[in-house]
Amino acid sequence: MTRGWLVVLLVGAATAAIKAAGPALLGGRPIPGALVPVFSLLAPPLFAALVATQTFASGHRLTVDARLLGLAIALAAAFLRAPAIVVIVCAAAATAALRLVAGGSP
């Protein structure tokens, strides 16, 4: 089996189990109150870590390259409340344009 299909199967199974856990285990009881803020704070560091590593990491090395311009454009567009597709296309286009200007392949 390829790595891709393995990830598809395992992530699917894990997600199904997570979503079923509430009704299956807790019945009608609420989750412990102290854990609620932890659950709500899981997404921001994970998304921020993905932004940071996918911009600055090349394998194990930290680098600054054309992706930084893409990130700057994405941040500006996102905070101007541009639709998701505009943010993504502008970021990719900025990175490609900078590489073209710098003389590499886009």
Partner 1 sequence: MDRATYRSGALAVLPLAAAVLVLGVTFGALAVSAGLTPAAAVAMSATTFAGSAQFAAVGILGAGGAVSTAVVSAALLNARYAAMGAAVAPALHAPLWKRLLIAQLTVDETWAVAWLPGGKVSPERLVGAGLALFAAHVGSTAVGAFAGARFRLDPGAWGIDSAFPALFVVLLRPHLRSRDGRIAAALGAALALLLTPIVPVGVPIAAAATVSLIGLRKP
Calculate the alpha carbon distances from 75 to 12, 51, 64, 72, 90 in Å.
31, 10, 17, 5, 10
**Residue found by looking up tokens 């996918």 in the block:** 54
Site for partner 1 (CB under 8 A): how many residues?
Answer: 82
Binding residues among 52-91 for partner 1 as defined by CB under 8 A: 52-57, 59-62, 66-67, 70-71, 73-75, 78-79, 83-85, 87-91
User: Which phi and psi angles does 57 have, rounded to 5°?
Assistant: -100, 140
The answer to whether 101 contacts partner 1 (rule: CB under 8 A) is no
At its nearest, how many Å lie between partner 1 and the CB of residue 23? 4
At its nearest, how many Å lie between partner 1 and the CB of residue 72? 10
> Cα–Cα distance between 63 and 100 in angstroms, integer?
19
Binding residues among 26-45 for partner 1 as defined by CB under 8 A: 26-31, 34-45
For residues 72 and 90, is the Cβ–Cβ distance under 8 A? no
At its nearest, how many Å lie between partner 1 and the CB of residue 103? 15
Q: Pick from 24, 33, 64, 102: which binds partner 1 (CB under 8 A)? A: 24
